[in-house]
């Protein structure tokens, strides 16, 4: 057997070991939220976070529909993916249907900039700009954030409200409460593990929209 073939044979022997090790190092966390409007169910929000060594992949899928009888008055569908390494955003892609208005935002790090294409409008931002994605509590430390829907920068301000009791999967838990203001105000709660467990905001009609971890 040639040296090349021997090396290839060794590679084939050890590939299953490395594949198993990589699989063992991969962890997946799924967070599913019930979305309600004045306590009536209107949709779901699912966040999948896959961690593999220094790399993190995130997928966020939101489906919301508000209707009366058999008529849909408003719908919102969004699928967003994010790729991270060592806590730094590498790429983001989001497709949104906001009641029939379609948006597509794509962002990639290259040449020392975060290049964002939002609905065909391209801009170059600093690489430390984070998406306005609530799964990542680090967003609360920012002054501006990237809106996944249209690719625009939005201002960020935060008020710390301290700890509250919240219901998570039928159990009462302590969670840290913040008021987050971007283009609108919303209340968010994170548990001791920095996991999003609840979000509330006021609709344009004064209704209460709530995302509750189930």
Residue range 47-58: average pLDDT? 96
Structure confidence at residue 207 (pLDDT): 95
Query: For the chain, how many structural domains are there in total?
Result: 1
SS3 label, residue 120: coil
Instruction: Tell me the average pLDDT of the chain.
Output: 90
**Is the residue at 70 inside a domain?**
yes
From the CB of residue 7, how many other CB atoms can be counted at a distance below 10 Å?
11
With beta carbons less than 8 A apart as the criterion, state whether 76 and 62 touch. yes
**Is the residue at 200 inside a domain?**
yes
Q: Is the pLDDT of residue 2 over 90?
A: no
Q: Is the pLDDT of residue 170 over 90?
A: no
**Is the residue at 11 inside a domain?**
no
What is the rounded distance in angstroms from the CA atom of residue 214 to the CA atom of residue 18? 35
Q: Classify burial at 50, counting beta carbons within 10 Å of its beta carbon; exposed 0-12, middle 13-18, buried 19 or more.
A: middle
Backbone φ/ψ region at 16: left (φ over 0), alpha (ψ -120 to 50), beta? alpha
Structure confidence at residue 141 (pLDDT): 95
What is the rounded distance in angstroms from the CA atom of residue 161 to the CA atom of residue 189? 10
DSSP calls for 149-202: TT--EEE-EEEEEEEEEEEETTEEEEEEEEEEESSSEEEEEE-TTS-EEEEEEE
With beta carbons less than 8 A apart as the criterion, state whether 116 and 151 touch. yes
pLDDT tier for residue 183 given thresholds of 50, 70 and 90: confident
Residue range 61-75: average pLDDT? 92
In the DSSP assignment, the letter for residue 14 is H
Nearest alpha carbon to residue 162 among 150, 174, 151, 152? 174
Residue range 208-213: average pLDDT? 97
Q: Which domain does 44 fall in, by range?
A: 25-213
- The pLDDT tens digits for 135-149 are 999 999 999 999 999
**Is the residue at 174 inside a domain?**
yes
Query: 186 is written with which tokens?
Result: 């919303």
**Is the residue at 180 inside a domain?**
yes
**Is the residue at 192 inside a domain?**
yes
Structure confidence at residue 68 (pLDDT): 85
- The pLDDT tens digits for 72-109 are 999 999 999 999 999 999 999 999 999 999 999 999 99
**Is the residue at 13 inside a domain?**
no
Query: 85 is written with which tokens?
Result: 């390494």
Q: Is the pLDDT of residue 110 over 80?
A: yes
pLDDT tier for residue 214 given thresholds of 50, 70 and 90: very high
**Is the residue at 16 inside a domain?**
no
Residue range 151-156: average pLDDT? 96
- The pLDDT tens digits for 4-13 are 444 434 444 4
Q: Which residues pair with 135 in a beta bridge?
A: none
Residue range 61-66: average pLDDT? 97
Structure confidence at residue 198 (pLDDT): 97
- The pLDDT tens digits for 19-38 are 444 454 889 999 999 999 99
């Amino acid at each position: 057997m040639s040296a090349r073939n021997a090396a290839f044979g060794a590679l084939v022997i050890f590939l299953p070991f490395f594949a198993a090790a990589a699989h063992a190092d991969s962890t997946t966390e799924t967070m599913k939220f019930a979305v309600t409007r004045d306590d009536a169910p209107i949709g779901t929000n699912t966040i999948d976070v896959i961690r593999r060594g220094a790399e993190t992949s995130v997928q966020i899928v939101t489906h919301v529909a508000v209707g009366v009888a058999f008529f849909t008055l408003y719908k919102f569908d969004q699928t967003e993916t994010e790729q991270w390494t060592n806590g730094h955003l590498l790429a983001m892609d989001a497709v949104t249907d906001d009641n029939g208005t379609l948006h597509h935002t794509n962002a990639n790090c290259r040449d020392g900039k975060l290049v964002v294409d939002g609905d065909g409008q391209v801009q170059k931002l600093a690489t430390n700009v984070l998406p306005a994605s609530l799964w990542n509590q680090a967003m609360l430390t920012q002054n501006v954030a990237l809106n996944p829907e249209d690719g625009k920068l939005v201002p960020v301000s935060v008020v710390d409200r301290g700890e509250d009791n919240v219901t998570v999967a039928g159990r009462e838990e302590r969670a840290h409460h913040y008021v987050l203001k971007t283009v609108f105000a919303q209340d968010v709660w994170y548990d001791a593990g920095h996991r999003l467990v609840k979000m509330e905001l006021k609709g344009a009609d004064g209704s209460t929209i709530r995302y509750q971890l189930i």
